[in-house]
Amino acid sequence: MHLRIKQLASIVSLGFLLSGCADDDFFQEDARIARDAPADSVWVTAGRHYKRSWLHRFFWGDHYRELWSEPVKVPVFDMKQIQGGLTFSEKGGGYQSLSFELVDSLGRKYALRSIDKDPVEVLYDFWKSTFVTNILRDQTSAANPYGALIIPKLAEAAGVYHTNPKLYYVAKNDSSFGQYSRMAQGKLFLLEEKYKSVADRKPHMQHVAGFDDSEDVLKLRFNTNTHHFKQEAFARARLLDLLVGDWDRHKGQWDWAIVKQGPEIFFEPIPKDRDQVFLKMDDGVVPFIATSKFLARKLQTFNHKFTDVKALTINATFIDERLLNELTADDWQRIAGEVQQDVTDKVIEDAVKDLPQPIYKLIGKEITDKLKNRRDMLPEAAQEMYEILAREVTIAGSDMEEEFIVKRLDDTSTEVTINRPQSTIAPARQLYQRVFYTSETKLITLHGLAGEDTFIVEGNVNDAIPVKIYGGLGEDEITDRSTVKGRKKMTEIYDTERGNEIDFGTEAKDRTTRDVRVHAYDREGN
Which of 368, 388, 408 delimits the end of a domain? 388
Distance of alpha carbon 164 from the chain centroid: 18
Do 125 and 228 lie in one domain? The reply is yes
Cβ contacts of residue 341 below 8 Å, gap of 6+? Answer: none
Claim to verify: residue 147 and residue 242 sit in the same structural domain: yes
Q: Judging by beta carbons within 10 Å of its beta carbon (0-12, 13-18, 19+), is residue 38 exposed, middle or buried?
A: exposed
pLDDT digits (tens, 9 = 90+) for 469-487: 999 999 999 999 999 999 9
Q: Which of 335, 366, 388 is the last residue of a domain?
A: 388
Say whether both 330 and 404 belong to one domain.
Answer: no
List residues bridging with 258 in a β-sheet: 210, 267
- What's the CA gap between 56 and 409, in Å, rounded? 61
Residues 300 and 377 in one domain: yes
User: Do 275 and 164 sit in the same domain of this protein?
Assistant: yes
Which pLDDT score, from 0 to 100, does residue 293 have?
67
Q: Specify whether 117 is located in the same domain as 33.
A: yes
| Claim to verify: residue 374 and residue 486 sit in the same structural domain | no
Same domain, 401 and 376: no
469 touches 492 (CB < 8 A): yes
Among 356, 388, 420, give the residue marking a domain's end.
Answer: 388
Does residue 524 sit within a domain? no
pLDDT at 292 (0 to 100)? 65
Are 204 and 238 contained in the same domain?
Answer: yes
Render each residue's pLDDT in the chain as its tens digit; 526 residues. Answer: 333 333 344 444 444 444 444 443 433 444 445 444 456 999 999 988 888 877 777 777 788 899 999 999 999 999 999 999 999 999 986 666 799 999 999 999 999 999 998 765 555 555 545 555 667 778 788 899 999 999 999 999 999 999 999 999 999 999 999 999 999 999 999 999 999 999 999 999 999 999 999 999 999 999 999 999 999 999 999 999 999 999 999 999 999 999 999 999 999 999 999 989 999 988 866 666 666 666 678 888 899 999 999 999 999 999 999 999 999 999 999 999 999 999 999 999 999 999 999 999 999 999 999 999 999 999 999 999 999 999 999 999 999 999 999 999 999 999 999 999 999 999 999 999 999 999 999 999 999 999 999 999 999 999 999 999 999 999 999 999 999 999 999 999 999 999 999 999 999 999 999 999 999 999 988 6
Question: Do both 368 and 403 map to the same domain?
Answer: no
Q: Is residue 99 part of a domain?
A: yes
Q: Which residues contact 1 (CB under 8 A, 6 or more apart)?
A: 294
Same domain, 353 and 266: yes
Hey, is 218 helix, strand or coil? Answer: helix
pLDDT in tens, 291-333: 666 667 888 889 999 999 999 999 999 999 999 999 999 999 9
The domain tally of the chain equals 2
What's the domain range around 32?
2-388
The helix (run of H) or strand (run of E) holding residue 435 is strand 429-437
Q: Write the DSSP assignment of 330-368 as a string of letters.
A: HHHHHHHHHHHHHS-HHHHHHHHTTS-HHHHHHHHHHHH
Asked, for residue 419, whether it belongs to a domain, the answer is yes
In a domain, 143, yes or no: yes
Count the Cβ atoms, other than its own, within 10 Å of residue 340: 18
Asked if 440 and 347 sit in the same domain, the reply is: no
Domain presence at residue 525: no
CB-based contact 337:329 (threshold 8 Å): no
